[in-house]
Amino acid sequence: MSVPDPYPLMTVAYTLEALKVRFGAENVMHEESQVTLKLQYPSRQDRTSMSLTIEQAKFLAANSLSAQDLLDQKFPTNWPGSARAQSTVPRPVQSGAVPVQFSLGKN
């Protein structure tokens, strides 16, 4: 499914430069149709990689969203590509489902 480009006049080169200024040049990589960010939680030493579509990268370049929100997947409602946005479908934990207890079969 194709996602409409929220910023059709913004070039990929501009997007990458804006993200490099914001997150550091060493933390932004571009391959074909995706951008990978290396992000770090404030309390951790290691970095976590996050892949974005070009449309999502453009949105991020044009809008203020913290690295913490990206890592926690707290996306705004107008985040491009609903596949990355938090789902509105209730999960078993949200709907009060109780896991089934399994028992070993009789020998």
SS3 37: strand
Mean pLDDT value across residues 13-24: 94
0.85 exceeded by pTM:
no
Domain boundaries of the chain, sorted by first residue: 12-71
Closest to 25 measured CA to CA, from 14, 16, 12, 13: 16
| Beta carbons of 74 and 86 less than 8 angstroms apart | yes
Report whether pLDDT(106) > 90. no
Each residue's pLDDT tens digit, 20-46: 999 999 999 999 889 999 998 777 778
pLDDT of residue 93: 47
Each residue's pLDDT tens digit, 46-102: 888 999 999 999 999 999 888 888 888 889 988 987 544 444 444 444 445 555 555
